[in-house]
C-alpha cells in the first residue's frame, strides 16, 4: 500500500474528527451548539432547552473504533427529561451496539430497591448517530435521514414512542450550500464541508453559526489543542487510507474473478460449438483455427 498524502490543515477544523467533534459539541461552554444541532435533528418533535453531559461516556472497546460518544440528559421546553446518546463514527456490529447502548441507558435508570414506588417511570431514550463514511446496508435507499421507532409490523402504528434511533448517513447528503433549506440541512452541510471552506459561510448570519465557525477556527486553538487536532486528523486520514485501499483491493479481486468467469463461460460456449462442428465432420485444425481454440482441446472432444 502506498503512503497516502498527509492531510492538510485548513482554516477550520474538521468537525468529524474525534477531537473536532468533542471540541465543538462536547464541552460545557459549547453545549448551545449541541442543543442547536440536536433540535435541528428532532425537527420540532423535541425542543431541548438545556442538557447535562453525563460522566458515563462509552468509548469504543478497541483503539481502532475511536468513535466520539456523548451520554446526555436533556430538558425539553415542557420540563420533560429524556436521555440522548450521540455517536459519531462507525463501530463493528453497529445495529446491535445501538440496541445494547439504549438498553443500558434504560436499565441504568432503575433504582436499587423500591421498584414498586418507581413504577417503571422510564425516561425517553434516543440514540443519534452521525455516520460519515458508511451506510446502513439494509436501508440502502439513498436517504440520508433514518428516524426509527418501535412500531407494529403489520400496520406501522407506533407501539412505543419513548425509544428511538436517528441515523444520519452523511455520505448520502449531497446538497450544496445554496440547496440547503432546513436548519438540519444547513448543519449537515457545515459538518460535512467546514474543513474545506476557505471563507466564512453565509450561515454565520445566525449567531449560533457565528459561534460555531469562531470555535472551529484553527488559529484560535491553543498549542496543545493544535497538536491534539493534528493527531486526530492524521488518524482519521490514515484510517480512510486503509479503508480506501481495502475497498480498492476488493474491487480488483471482484473484477478479476468476474473476468475469469466470463472467460470460462466464453470458452465453454466455444467448446460446445466445436463439438457440434466436429460431429458434423469439420477438420480438427479448421475448427481450432475458426474458434481460436487449442488443437489439443478440440481433439479431446
68-76 β-sheet, strand order: 48-53, 68-76, 81-88, 124-131, 158-169, 145-151
Neighbours of 184 (CB within 10 A): 19
Overall average pLDDT of the 268-291 stretch: 79
pLDDT tens profile 126-148: 999 998 877 776 555 788 999 99
Report for 4-18, 185-199, 268-282: range of highest mean pLDDT: 185-199
The whole-model pTM stands at 0.73
The string of pLDDT tens digits covering residues 87-112 is 876 667 888 888 998 998 998 888 88
Q: Is the pLDDT of residue 258 over 80?
A: no
pLDDT at 124 over 60: yes
The residues with which 84 forms a beta bridge, in sequence order, are 72, 126
Specify the residue for cell string 445566525: 206
135's grid cell: 451506510
Range from 44-48, 79-83, 275-279, 297-301 that averages highest in pLDDT = 44-48
Cβ-contact 173, 188 below 8 angstroms: yes
Instruction: Return the minimum-mean-pLDDT range out of 48-52, 132-136, 204-208, 219-223.
Output: 132-136
Give 278 or 73, the one with higher predicted confidence. Answer: 73
Confidence bin at 240 (pLDDT 50/70/90): low
Q: Looking at the predicted structure, is the pLDDT value of residue 266 above 60?
A: yes
> Is 116 or 164 the better-scoring residue by pLDDT?
164
Question: Are the CB atoms for 120 and 163 separated by under 8 Å?
Answer: no
List, for residues 163-194, the tens digit of each pLDDT value. Answer: 999 999 998 999 999 899 999 999 999 999 99
Q: Alpha helix locations (H) across 111-169? A: 115-118
The pLDDT > 90 percentage for the chain reads 41
Amino acid at each position: 500500500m502506498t503512503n497516502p498524502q498527509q492531510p492538510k490543515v485548513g482554516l477550520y477544523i474538521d468537525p468529524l474528527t474525534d477531537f473536532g467533534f468533542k471540541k465543538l459539541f462536547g464541552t460545557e461552554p459549547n453545549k448551545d451548539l449541541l442543543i442547536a444541532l440536536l433540535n435541528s435533528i428532532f425537527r420540532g418533535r423535541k425542543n431541548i432547552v438545556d442538557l447535562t453531559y453525563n460522566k458515563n461516556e462509552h468509548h469504543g472497546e478497541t483503539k481502532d473504533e475511536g468513535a466520539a460518544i456523548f451520554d446526555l440528559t436533556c430538558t425539553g421546553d415542557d420540563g420533560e427529561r429524556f436521555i440522548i446518546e450521540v455517536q459519531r463514527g462507525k463501530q463493528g456490529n453497529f445495529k446491535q451496539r445501538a440496541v445494547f447502548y439504549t438498553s443500558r441507558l434504560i436499565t441504568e435508570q432503575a433504582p436499587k430497591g423500591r421498584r414498586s414506588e418507581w413504577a417503571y417511570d422510564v425516561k425517553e431514550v434516543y440514540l443519534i448517530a452521525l455516520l460519515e463514511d458508511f451506510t446502513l446496508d439494509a436501508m440502502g435507499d439513498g436517504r440520508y435521514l433514518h428516524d426509527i421507532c418501535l412500531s407494529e409490523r403489520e400496520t406501522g402504528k407506533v407501539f412505543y414512542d419513548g425509544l428511538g434511533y436517528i441515523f444520519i448517513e452523511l455520505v448520502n447528503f449531497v446538497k450544496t450550500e445554496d440547496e440547503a433549506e432546513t436548519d438540519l440541512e444547513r448543519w449537515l452541510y457545515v459538518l460535512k464541508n467546514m474543513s474545506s471552506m476557505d471563507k466564512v459561510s453565509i450561515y454565520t448570519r445566525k449567531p449560533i453559526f457565528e459561534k460555531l465557525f469562531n470555535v472551529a477556527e484553527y488559529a484560535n486553538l491553543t498549542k496543545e489543542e493544535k497538536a491534539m487536532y493534528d493527531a486526530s486528523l492524521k488518524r482519521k486520514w490514515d484510517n480512510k487510507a486503509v479503508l480506501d485501499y481495502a475497498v480498492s483491493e476488493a474491487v480488483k479481486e471482484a473484477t478479476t474473478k468476474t473476468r475469469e468467469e466470463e472467460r470460462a463461460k466464453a470458452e465453454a460456449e466455444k467448446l460446445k460449438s466445436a463439438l457440434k462442428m466436429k460431429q458434423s465432420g469439420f477438420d480438427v485444425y479448421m475448427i481450432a483455427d475458426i474458434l481460436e481454440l487449442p488443437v489439443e482441446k478440440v481433439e479431446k472432444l
